[in-house]
A and B are shown apart, each in its own frame.
Chain A
Amino acid sequence: MSAEAPEIAVQGLTMAYGENVIQRGLEFNISKGEIFVIMGDSGSGKSTLLKHLIGLNRPAKGTIAYSGLDFWNSDAKAQLQTTHRFGVLYQSGALWSSMTLAENIALPLQTFAEFSESEVADIVSFKLSLVGLAGFEDYYPSEISGGMKKRAGLARAMALDPEILFFDEPSAGLDPISSRRLDDLILELRDGLGTTVVIVTHELASIFAIGDRGIFVDADAKTQTALGPIAEMRSAPPTEKVAEFLSRGEAETNEGTKP
């Protein structure tokens, strides 16, 4: 693992469900400490791409490497070590419904790290307070609201101090204020801990506020049509669709910031 190898390197990735090809020829790098945004129109396979990046789906073709380690050509042990560097926030939070919030966060800590019971309890409370859920340790996922589930999911994703955080549409279903807070939290995590962040979103306010670089996957072209810094993509969009996607956001952000 050389020092200059990018955090995530995707080469010639083709994603398919059976014979149905979703995207082909995806090629991009994500470097350490970057906030990388996956954009695309609906049905373009953004979430599928995320599932490939977190090792859930196997590429039909191509490689995905983490710090130079080719994930799908490594043994199970190396794969496990790699996935332990990830934290994933699923769209619905995906908390384990038979466990309390505290148990949800404690489980990976107890299983994969050597902590005493009181340490685990401390870490759990700390992570929960980090996302503004202090005091909710003994609640079950069904007893809290959707936005809270999402935040609890983030607390769990951060349990093992991941180096890479993946977000699947973090602001979907959140009110503008919570969504803004989540953005701030993501920025702080990146600045404070140097966490690499990969986000699937079409919330343009979010994209412009926190995104460093991004990729645009096109449902019709079935491949990436834009890659690079968000600002560049915005000033010189490579295709009409990208321009359309990002310009509607401009209108939205103007409205959003005016009052």
Chain B
Amino acid sequence: MNVEETDILDVAVPARATPTFKQDFVDRLSKSETAHVRFSLGEAVVWDGATLALIKSLANTARDHSVSSDFERLPPQVQRVLALTRDAAKDLDEDTGEEGSGGRSDFFTRVGEKTVGFLGASQTTSSFLREVGGSLRRFFTGRAQYQKSDLIQFMRDTGPQAIPLVGLVNLLLGVILAFMGAIQLQQFGAQIFVADLVAIGLTREIAPMMTAIILAGRTGAAYAAQLGTMQVNEEIDAFKTFGFSPTDFLVLPRMLALAVMTPLLVLYADAIGMFGGFLVGVLLLDISGTEYLNETRSAIDMTDLMIGIFKASIFGMLVAIAGCMKGMQSGRNASAVGLAATSAVVTGIVSIIIATAFFAVLTNVLGL
């Protein structure tokens, strides 16, 4: 580094900065009565992007110390590239100059922003729900515009295609419930009540909830991704400009499909879950098949089944609403679509659990 103690500081820049190079430069700047820096390249330096970045950074440092600088001794090519960055830097300075004052946000600003964001979110949620309500009203009065073929397609996707997964999960749930009960009940020689536990537990609570959770992961996420991608492609805008209601056209058939298919899946889940309990009872607890079936039949009545079915329908709607809402509100890029799918699953599952708790209290109060 060649530095002369005059008004003009000559700096020969190496290809790469040594650890102390910048600090040295700053020291020189502040110590001497330097008014101007003249940059040149060190001997036999092969310059590249990093060299240019270094020169730029040094020039900026000089400017911060109110010292002017010039690039005239640098090779013409280097000068030309640096001239480009000089313009860009000027623009940038102007930009930051405008916004510099409000950049850092303090605690209260952040709380305020979060609150406004939350209020905004609940506002968009309620306006989405209003639109869905309007759409349902149009459906029941026969004025909704949607394609029947879409509805059938969605029903096929959410219903029959979910049968293997829903079956497997609920069979195992029946087995698990039976084991859980058996451990306690065997102590009193009351293992026959495993049948009651499995039947009531499954039909009223477990089957609807678990089936809905499976659908939240399987179908809710798919809905969010489909609608999010349509948002990215401006397909939803295209629906709007043709005067189609995107809610009627896209949300309604998806919601109906889930509202219809979830109860059917839950009926199937009830049956297969009780079969799981039956297997445990007969094979491991020495209950005879007839005994188990009789106990099951006397344990549940129509009310239990209907409560489960009713809940399933509500859960199906919740999953569909979460999926469609997140999809319709998705941002217009790939990562936003991923985010929409994730948040559709989370919102779906959380709202299922909340609704389950709500129903538990409600049925208790109503004495059902």
Chain A interface residues (CB < 8 Å from chain B): 51, 54-56, 80, 83-84, 86, 88, 90-92, 94-98, 107-108, 111-112, 156, 160
Contact A54 B235 (CB under 8 A): no
- Inter-chain CA distance A88–B235, complex, in Å, is 11
B240 to chain A: which residues have CB within 8 Å?
55-56
Chain B interface residues (CB < 8 Å from chain A): 145, 150, 229-230, 233-235, 237-244
Contact B241 A86 (CB under 8 A): yes
A95 to chain B: which residues have CB within 8 Å?
233, 235, 238
Closest-by-CB residue of B relative to A96 is B235
Taking a contact as CB atoms closer than 8 A, the residue among B145, B235, B243, B244 that contacts A94 in the complex is B235
Beyond A56-B237, A84-B242, A94-B237, 8 additional contacts (C-beta under 8 Å) are A83-B241, A83-B243, A88-B237, A88-B241, A90-B238, A95-B233, A96-B235, A111-B145
A111 to chain B: which residues have CB within 8 Å?
145, 244
Contact B234 A54 (CB under 8 A): no
Contact B241 A97 (CB under 8 A): no
- Inter-chain CA distance A90–B239, complex, in Å, is 12
A98 to chain B: which residues have CB within 8 Å?
150
Closest-by-CB residue of A relative to B236 is A94
Q: Give the shortest distance, in Å, between B96 (CB) and chain A (any CB).
A: 15
- Inter-chain CA distance A108–B238, complex, in Å, is 11
Contact A92 B233 (CB under 8 A): yes
Closest-by-CB residue of B relative to A89 is B238
A55 to chain B: which residues have CB within 8 Å?
240-241
- Inter-chain CA distance A148–B239, complex, in Å, is 20
- Inter-chain CA distance A156–B238, complex, in Å, is 10
Contact B242 A108 (CB under 8 A): yes
- Inter-chain CA distance A91–B239, complex, in Å, is 15
Contact A80 B243 (CB under 8 A): yes
- Inter-chain CA distance A2–B295, complex, in Å, is 81
Contact B242 A94 (CB under 8 A): no
- 11 of the cross-chain contacts (CB-CB < 8 Å) are A54-B241, A55-B240, A86-B241, A88-B237, A88-B241, A94-B233, A94-B238, A95-B238, A96-B238, A107-B242, A112-B243
Contact A92 B234 (CB under 8 A): yes
A90 to chain B: which residues have CB within 8 Å?
234, 237-238
- Inter-chain CA distance A156–B237, complex, in Å, is 14
A108 to chain B: which residues have CB within 8 Å?
242, 244
A83 to chain B: which residues have CB within 8 Å?
241-243
A107 to chain B: which residues have CB within 8 Å?
242
A84 to chain B: which residues have CB within 8 Å?
242-243
Closest-by-CB residue of A relative to B116 is A18
- Inter-chain CA distance A34–B237, complex, in Å, is 25
- Inter-chain CA distance A92–B230, complex, in Å, is 12
Q: Give the shortest distance, in Å, between A208 (CB) and chain B (any CB).
A: 28
B229 to chain A: which residues have CB within 8 Å?
97
Q: Give the shortest distance, in Å, between B47 (CB) and chain A (any CB).
A: 31
Contact B243 A88 (CB under 8 A): no
A156 to chain B: which residues have CB within 8 Å?
238
Q: Give the shortest distance, in Å, between B141 (CB) and chain A (any CB).
A: 16
Contact B243 A97 (CB under 8 A): no
- Inter-chain CA distance A160–B230, complex, in Å, is 22
Q: Give the shortest distance, in Å, between B92 (CB) and chain A (any CB).
A: 15
A56 to chain B: which residues have CB within 8 Å?
237, 240-241
Leading 6 A-B pairs by shortest Cβ distance: A94-B234, A94-B238, A90-B234, A88-B241, A80-B243, A83-B243
Taking a contact as CB atoms closer than 8 A, the residue among A80, A86, A91, A160 that contacts B234 in the complex is A91
Closest-by-CB residue of B relative to A103 is B147
- Inter-chain CA distance A108–B241, complex, in Å, is 11
B237 to chain A: which residues have CB within 8 Å?
51, 56, 88, 90, 94
Given A83-B241, A84-B243, A111-B145, are A97 and B234 also a contact pair (CB < 8 Å)? no
B242 to chain A: which residues have CB within 8 Å?
83-84, 107-108, 112, 160
Taking a contact as CB atoms closer than 8 A, the residue among B145, B235, B239 that contacts A97 in the complex is B235
- Inter-chain CA distance A133–B243, complex, in Å, is 25
Closest-by-CB residue of B relative to A112 is B243
Q: Give the shortest distance, in Å, between B150 (CB) and chain A (any CB).
A: 8
B241 to chain A: which residues have CB within 8 Å?
54-56, 83, 86, 88
Q: Give the shortest distance, in Å, between B259 (CB) and chain A (any CB).
A: 21
Q: Give the shortest distance, in Å, between B147 (CB) and chain A (any CB).
A: 8
